[in-house]
Amino acid sequence: MVNELKNLAAKQYGLGLHTTTPELGLAISGLSLENFASDSRSQVWNLEREMSSHLHQYLIEFIKPQSLTDLAFVAVAKGPGGFTGTRIGVVTARTLGQQLEIPVFAVSTLEAFAWKHLQSVPEENKTEQIIAVKMPAQRGQIFAGIYQPRSDGFGLTALLSDTVFTPEAWEEKLTSLNSNYQLIEASSGLAATVTDILQLALLEWQQGKRPGWAEALPYYGMHPVEI
């Protein structure tokens, strides 16, 4: 019986989706932080306006030799980003979560970008690193968030959750910070952070968090809305 349970656990995987830009990012990994680099794979496609009609096909082909029934959870970029693409990704993740009865982790696009940046920071400096992330929004505004690594290594703490600013208000916010920070801009290659989306979800999974599919809501630059 114990061996059967071990075999069952070994077949469980996490799936990452990133659709907030015209590029589709997919990633899959076994549920082991220690083997994340060696037991994961990812791919990015530039689908432009074909995202909605081709996502399912790419997903089924990408996930092989695993199948949807091997999934233990789904992680999805919840935005900010393009309205249509963000909605497609979140709806897909919610549908998978509901049909497969598995958790769905909705992860900020900006948080994933900050996490990716953090991997280039020397280990001894990581816990002291404050990362301010900005991203172009519509009408000359800015999406922004401020993050700091958790002292236990399990992801990031949001010192400022994703918010829409005017450039002037954002500069005022940065000026008000009472500590040094690293300012980065999420302007390209966002779909490639699907691996970071997946890893952040895996860190929460390892802490015992199991969010239901209905909790996964998109962020469009306002309060999260029902879909």
Q: Which CATH number fits domain 110-185: 3.30.420.40, 3.40.50.1980, 3.30.2090.10, 2.60.120.330?
A: 3.30.420.40
Cβ atoms of 41 and 63 within 8 Å: the answer is no
The pLDDT of residue 122 is 66
Average pLDDT, the chain: 88
Question: Residue 17: which H helix or E strand, with range?
Answer: strand 13-18
> pLDDT under 70 in the chain at which residues?
1-11, 37, 122-128, 222-227
Say if residues 181 and 146 touch (Cβ distance below 8 Å).
yes
Domain pair 2-107+189-215 / 110-185, same fold:
yes
pLDDT digits over 135-176, tens only? 999 889 999 999 999 888 889 999 999 999 999 999 999 999
Strands 142-149 vs 156-165: parallel, antiparallel or unpaired: antiparallel
Please state the domain extents for the chain: 2-107+189-215, 110-185
H helical segments located in the chain? 2-10, 51-63, 83-100, 109-118, 167-176, 194-206
Cα–Cα dist 188/210, whole Å: 31
- Dihedral sign computed on CA atoms, order 204, 206, 209, 211: positive
Query: What's phi and psi for 85, nearest 5 deg?
Result: -60, -45
The superfamily in CATH containing domain 2-107+189-215 is: ATPase, nucleotide binding domain (3.30.420.40)
Q: Which residue matches tokens 């172009």?
A: 136
pLDDT of residue 225: 42
Contacts of 169 (CB under 8 A, 6+ apart): none
How many whole angstroms separate alpha carbon 29 and alpha carbon 41?
A: 7
